A and B are shown apart, each in its own frame.
Chain A
Amino acid sequence: MRSALVALLVLALLPLALSAMDQGFYVGFASRVLIYAIAATSLNLVLGYGGMVSFGHAAFVGTGAYVSSIALAEGLTSAWVGWPLAVMASALLAWGIGAVSLRTRGVYFIMITLAFAQMMFYLVNSMKAYGGDEGLTLPHRAELGLGLELGNDLVFYYVVLLVLALTLGGLHRLANSRFGRVVAAIRENEPRAEAIGYPVHRFRLACFVIAGAFGGLAGVLLASHGKYVNPGALHWLQSGTLMVMVVLGGVGRLWGGVVGAAALLGLEHLVADYPVGWLVQIAPNYQQHANLGVGVVLLVIVLFAPRGIVGLVTRTRNART
């Protein structure tokens, strides 16, 4: 608990440190990392805690992004209206997709979540009224009232940080609650959970919906951040990216989503913007093929370090004590 508060404190002080170092523009990047952290954490709930390999999570993130953007485009400028609407839309979508998909298992389930998410991608892509494949650009961010101007990047950062803190706090409480225990039990031994009296399907669906709702919330912030949304947000490669973040950070670990998002986005940024001298000598345009590195790193992790970064850290810590 204490380390969690320290981490949040560091994140809270980050923008002040950045502006002191004259790197104020990084606040936007930091916001983006935190938003992806929320998205990855929401996937972690369903993947790590729930044990459901859902490959269509981007659909919920994207739905949150689109519904909140459409609300804004149609004149609903208050965040208190647009944002909850978007989260509910994502939750509803998760309920629909979950109700059908969770009747299946294993390989089927993975493929079906993937297919439904792609269906949403094509659906959104065909909505010419809202930009179609070019996406939707927004003139400004939603209005929060309370004397807070979301258009200010610093204010936006703190709003995102607050949402992240609430998400992590919520996940922590959930994991230790009655519901969390049942979900963990179902993940470990589904038939036995059914045999002691739990309606497994209902719990799985609830977990799926909650994760979808939080994913939608992340999507809302994502669209708000860039004031832009396009169908790519729902593409299954995005679902894959979120999965990579969760696994990189640590599946089923509370901070797995945060660590994974920071690691992946940080790495991407470093590779793209800071050419390494000797690498340029061997392969002059290596930066354009950054995905190759991501792929290799991911493959290595899956084959040799499946517990992710958090897992490695805790293992070394435990080994030392």
Chain B
Amino acid sequence: MSLILFAEQALNGLQFGLMLFLLAAGLTLVFGIMDMINLAHGSLYMVGAFMAASLVKTTGSFWLGALLAVPATALLGVLLEVSVLRTLYARDHLSQVLATFALILIINELTRIAWGSDATLAMPASLAGPVELLPGLYYPAYRLLIIGVGAAVALLLFLLVTRTRVGMWVRAGASNREMALAMGVNIKVLFTLVFGVGTALCAVAGALLGPMLAVQVGMGENILILSFVVIVIGGIGSIRGALVGALVVGVADTFGRALLPLLFGLVLPPQFASAAGLALASVMIYLIMALVLFYRPQGLFPARG
């Protein structure tokens, strides 16, 4: 594999990983602090994408539309939290799974009714072309934007969680909820805040990925599972774990899909090589997850000791 190809795949992996991080970060905090399993997280990402598509069409500007989609979606998320999700915090996990599964069905159908089964989110013309990073290495400008925004958000999140008082409460809540309560943290407000931020992150990912992937009902479910894998690998409740997990999954999946058919081609005849490579590539991240679980069932950086 040439160096150019390697660099391309590495950047793709980085881009994929950073987007997964945006989704996983919100999800891991919800799991860690509220001890709630939220299957509807992917649906919020989908709503973010649809919202962005609408707003871009209305305002005529990608930047304005995408930017407005974030607080709009976050608002919906907060409304959802205050109305339905709040009653689930005290319930058992099975109830949470079923209720949020019900929410997926409801949100999917409401989205279909409001916007139709799919929408188009056009890439901004200014970023439609490639950029020459190194002599001979051309990389789509839009993907560079994603990497940039993803990295910036990750940094912002780190600063928020490690340098602010709110961030301290979040970390305290993730590692020991009862203790945080005892220390006087206003749990209700904290939960709503965490959920709102998580939804905002989903919306950013949705708006950014919209032009690249198809904006359609059901896009949330696929990425949700990946987010779960990320969190299991990284450890529940840990932002750092979410970042590491996301990068591992992003890079492993990207390189797996690119390399495995080639690797198999070295030892197997071509018709088997691509089939075997494809099969293994599609399950590789799950195998990694199983491996991590075998040696560290709580993930790489669990918030709770």
Do A and B assemble together?
yes
Of the listed stretches B123-131, B135-143, B278-286, chain A binds B278-286
Most chain A CB within 10 A, of B87, B95, B102, B228, is at B102
Interface flag for A247 (CB, 8 Å): yes
Whether B109 lies near A292 (C-beta < 8 A) is yes
Chain B contacts for A112, CB-based, 8 A: 232, 289, 293
Whether A295 lies near B98 (C-beta < 8 A) is no
Q: Write the nearest CB–CB distance from B33 to chain A, whole angstroms.
A: 12
Whether B101 lies near A240 (C-beta < 8 A) is yes
Query: What range describes how many residues of A lie at the interface?
Result: 35 or more
| Residues 99-116 (chain B) with a chain A CB within 8 angstroms | 99, 101-106, 108-110, 112-113
Contact A294:B97 (CB < 8 A) given known A104-B293, A107-B31, A114-B225: no
A119 to B231, CA, bound (A): 16
Interface flag for B275 (CB, 8 Å): yes
| Residues 115-157 (chain A) with a chain B CB within 8 angstroms | 115-116, 118-119, 122-123, 125-129
Interface flag for A47 (CB, 8 Å): yes
Chain A contacts for B87, CB-based, 8 A: 303
Interface flag for A111 (CB, 8 Å): yes
SS class, residues of chain A in contact with chain B: helix
With CB as the reference atom, state the residue of chain B lying closest to A300: B102
Whether A295 lies near B103 (C-beta < 8 A) is yes
A47 to B84, CA, bound (A): 24
Interface flag for A103 (CB, 8 Å): yes
Whether B236 lies near A107 (C-beta < 8 A) is yes
Q: Write the nearest CB–CB distance from B93 to chain A, whole angstroms.
A: 6
Interface flag for A106 (CB, 8 Å): yes
Contact A110:B98 (CB < 8 A) given known A115-B286, A295-B109: no
Most chain B CB within 10 A, of A106, A237, A294, A302, is at A302
With CB as the reference atom, state the residue of chain A lying closest to B229: A115
Interface flag for B37 (CB, 8 Å): yes
Contact A289:B95 (CB < 8 A) given known A100-B290, A107-B37, A244-B101: no
Interface flag for A13 (CB, 8 Å): no
Q: Write the nearest CB–CB distance from B89 to chain A, whole angstroms.
A: 13
Whether A103 lies near B275 (C-beta < 8 A) is no
Q: Write the nearest CB–CB distance from B8 to chain A, whole angstroms.
A: 23
Interface flag for B118 (CB, 8 Å): no
- Those 6 A-B pairs whose CB atoms lie nearest each other, nearest first: A295-B105, A119-B286, A292-B109, A295-B106, A298-B102, A122-B282
Q: Please name 18 further chain A to chain B contacts, defined as beta carbons within 8 Å, in addition to the given A110-B97, A292-B110, A302-B99, sorted by A numbering.
A: A53-B94, A53-B97, A100-B293, A103-B294, A111-B228, A114-B225, A114-B228, A115-B225, A115-B228, A115-B232, A118-B286, A119-B286, A122-B282, A125-B282, A126-B275, A298-B101, A299-B102, A302-B95
6 A-B pairs whose Cβ atoms sit less than 8 Å apart in the complex? A53-B93, A112-B293, A126-B278, A292-B105, A296-B102, A298-B99
